[in-house]
Amino acid sequence: MELREIIKQVLSARRRKTASTGRWTGAAVLVPLFEKGGRPHVLFTKRTDRVKRHKGEISFPGGVVDEKDKDSEATALRETYEEIGLSPENTKILGKLDDAFTVSSAYLITPIVAEIVYPYPFRINEEEIEELIEIPLEAFLDRDRWREETYSHGGEKVLSYRFEYEGRIIWGATARIMRQFLDVLFGDRPGVQR
């Protein structure tokens, strides 16, 4: 069975945890998967220093829900097209992960896992995106690349993950979403160094 079908089955068979927006701003991101050199990869964006929030961070393409979006999938696809020029026709939705929060900017994010066409003639929105980053899925299974950290925000302890690959750091909501994806797909296999 292909990885795409396994992911689709695993995501559809589980009960997804959702949350209501309440004081949070609704958002959605695409978790883009593709095959390169016979190996599955994940596509990330590095945000510019010109964006309003999360300057210079590595993230998934996506953004805030627009009132015209019919659902979170529409938000993720629209935002991905606006940021990197990937058309929805070149995207196959595989399922959703649990809603995730950003502590500092108060976003409630719905992660949409998808397979994308690759190679692809991406068109980067240079105001928002500095570069695209491709990371092999197997790199995320390396225990030595992960760190678990706790910090205080508003008097509460917050669990955070950090992942390092070739000098790049993925942290915050993006790292939590990626950890959740790995946990759902592989169970306890990928470990975390403390």
Higher-pLDDT residue of 90 and 153 is 90
Give residue for tokens 């993006």.
174
Tokens matching residue 107: 């976003």
Strand pairing report for 25-36 and 107-116: parallel
Residues 147 and 38: their CA atoms lie apart, in Å, by: 28
> What is the pLDDT averaged over residues 76-96?
98
pTM, rounded to two decimals: 0.92
Do 107 and 144 contact (CB within 8 A), yes or no? no
Do 34 and 41 contact (CB within 8 A), yes or no? yes
Partners of residue 42 on adjacent β-strands: 33, 135
Summarised one tens digit per residue, pLDDT across range 20-31 is 767 889 999 999
Residues 82 and 176: their CA atoms lie apart, in Å, by: 24
Residue 43: partners with Cβ closer than 8 Å, 6 or more residues away: 32, 33, 34, 61, 116, 132, 133, 134
pLDDT at 193 over 60: no
Summarised one tens digit per residue, pLDDT across range 119-142 is 999 999 999 999 999 999 999 999
Q: How do the domains of the chain map onto residue ranges?
A: 3-138
**How is domain 3-138 classified at the architecture level of CATH?**
Alpha-Beta Complex (3.90)
Work out the widest C-alpha separation in the chain, in whole angstroms: 47
